[in-house]
Amino acid sequence: MRPNPAEVVRTLMAGRLPGLAHVAHRPGPHPVRHVTDPEGRMLLLVPVAGDLAAALEPGPAGDVAVVLDVLDLPPTAGAPTLGRAWVSGWATRLDDDERLLAALDFADTLPTGDLLDLGTAFHLYRFEVAEARLERGDAVLRIDPQEYAEAEPDPVHQVEEQVLADLAGHHAGEVTEYVRRLLDPKPLTGPVRPLRIDRYGLVVAYGPLGGRHRVRLTFPHPVGHPDDLARALHPVLCRARAAVRTPD
């Protein structure tokens, strides 16, 4: 198993990666801090005195069409990218009780003191996702908005870089030995390097530098929380259990 396109878009849109907001019929794009609330709606934290706030001022029709664009930033050199996510909808500025509840959702993912200045120095905008797309190379996949809303962001994504660094720095020998056992009797040449990790498994590269191969090591069960990673990685770090191998 591996993350499906809807899960990838929810993961990229969760708020841990930089986002660009494109406002219809206005100059841009604009860098923006954003998160996804539990229902999959986008929240944008926008300075009152700025070009994006001016662009989001509603016109005569009252609706402001926005596209949020988030590009994956692979955690290690040479790692495969998850792609680029695009979601669109009609943004509305939040006030009063709605703003307070949305601020709590925002702080759950991206805590910042700027939320204390809502209504004075910053505004919160929200939009439901009317369209979602995932761009990978030359292919663009359209995601059903309902499927997007029901998908869960990958809980491992927030700790991916730290986990990969720990595996490479402190468990390189165990990872290499595990991949060696999986490939037996095929000889293993060159170093083994963890490239990516998600709730479903670990992607590693092996072989000589001029001819690297990738393999996905599938966890016995999807990881539901970062704290569960130690159990999921047990087959990799210990000899006692085996894992399923699928081509990446």
Give which of 42, 21, 10, 40 is closest to 158, Cα–Cα: 10
pLDDT at res. 210: 60
**Pair 179, 191: CB distance under 8 Å:** no
Nearest-angstrom CA–CA distance, 194 and 197: 8
Q: Where in the chain is the domain with CATH 2.30.110.10?
A: 5-153
Instruction: Provide the token pair at 207.
Output: 């072989």
Q: Tens digit of pLDDT for each residue in 29-73?
A: 999 999 999 889 999 999 999 999 999 998 776 779 999 999 999
| Residue 242's pLDDT band (cuts 50, 70, 90) | very low
- Taking only the tens place, the pLDDT of each residue in 110-121 is 999 999 999 999
According to the model, what pLDDT value does residue 211 have? 63
| Range(s) within the chain of domains with CATH label 3.20.180.10 | 158-247
User: In terms of Cα–Cα distance, which of 196, 178, 171 is closest to 241?
Assistant: 178
What pLDDT does residue 78 have?
Answer: 86
Q: Band the pLDDT of 134: cuts 50, 70, 90.
A: very high
Contact 55, 1 (CB under 8 A): no
* 62 phi-psi bin (left φ>0, alpha ψ -120 to 50, beta other): left
CA 98/CA 123 separation, integer angstroms:
12
- Read off the tokens for 39: 């229902």
CATH level 3 topology of 158-247? Split barrel-like (3.20.180)
Q: Architecture of domain 5-153 in CATH?
A: Roll (2.30)
